[in-house]
Amino acid sequence: MLNELNNKNIVVTGGYGFIGNHLIRLLVEKTSANVIVVDKLTYASTYSNELVSNTHNFVYLDISSKYFGENLINTVVKRQLIPKNSKIDYVLHLAAESHVDSSIKNPGIFVETNVNGTLNVLEFVKTQDCKLVHVSTDEVYGHLTNYKDCFTEETPLNPRSPYSASKAASDLLVQSYVNTYGISAIITRCCNNFGIYQHREKFIPTCIKSIVNNKPIPLYGNGSNVREWISAKDHALAILQIAVKGTFGQIYNIGSGIEFTNLELATKIIDFAYNIHGIKGEIVNVEDRLGHDFRYAIDNSKYRNEISNDSYTTLDFSLHEIFQFYKNKY
């Protein structure tokens, strides 16, 4: 399926972020696409010489700049990043501020990046007449208060944090550009991701960092909050498959069906650290996060019926790679 991306000119915003790293590597390994990475190299970016190759190009830009589109196209032309007489075929829009705790402390930067930045990306897509895949989150749906329901693409938006509100606003902007200007855009909404290249502020890196530094894992409340988890590699593959096979104007939920309470996940990592590495870990309960959502769970039947019915990578399968990555990092 990914062969259809061969020789396409693809811009990836936030390409050195967590999901972006996996997506770029997949594009480089599986396709002959001409990949142009746009990133402003924030604290959450992972830039390495190993990732930089002749198969993709890096453009240092901030999507929240009102000159984003103009600067991007000028750079593309000046540096001859795409073949002569060709154009940008796809924009895969992953750039975003994503940490809920940070959004509670400083919501303004989330509006600036996630809302205004997406507006600038949309203007670029509109003027260049290219295809857009806008990567969003299941958190725009709010939260589930029981273990029975799941989010579908028709679930009303009900964001409960500044982060999810900024992502919901960006989703609505994308839909408005589809309806008003007729751009070719798809929205994807994914559950929590696990894997390497994630910033230390996230839950799994925090657990591993705490264990290797002989500190207790801070667990919000009683740890009963539930999240669905998917491998970042699987998520990256789903984005590319949707870009190829998805119907423009549509929304696709990406999920795995793998759910853990935060306590279950922290305990799983502690057990792994002790059984495999002989390192003991412990948990300390801390004051709960403001407006802490109880449960996220996705109905991904639309994706599985229309795009792909591939199996998903389990967390148990990935834990050795993940633990080793963060153990060495911290």
Query: Is 163 considered catalytic here?
Result: yes
Own/partner long-range contacts of 176-180 (Cβ < 8 Å, ≥24 apart) = 177/122, 177/125, 177/126, 178/248, 178/249
Which of 138, 228, 234, 293 does the annotation list as catalytic? 138
Q: What are phi and psi of 230, to 5 degrees?
A: -135, 150
Tokens at residue 316, please?
Answer: 């148990």
Tokens at residue 46, please?
Answer: 């992972």
DSSP class of residue 299?
-
Query: Is 50 considered catalytic here?
Result: no
How far apart are the C-alpha atoms of 76 and 86, rounded to whole Å?
11
Angle CA 76–77–83, to nearest 5: 85
How far apart are the C-alpha atoms of 255 and 304, rounded to whole Å?
10
- Pairing mode, if any, of strands 226-231 and 259-261? antiparallel
Contact 308, 241 (CB under 8 A): yes
Query: Is 39 considered catalytic here?
Result: no
Q: What are phi and psi of 35, to 5 degrees?
A: -100, 125
Which of 62, 89, 139, 171 does the annotation list as catalytic? 139
Which of 90, 163, 177, 197 does the annotation list as catalytic? 163
Contact 38, 46 (CB under 8 A): no
**Residues taking part in catalysis:** 138-139, 163
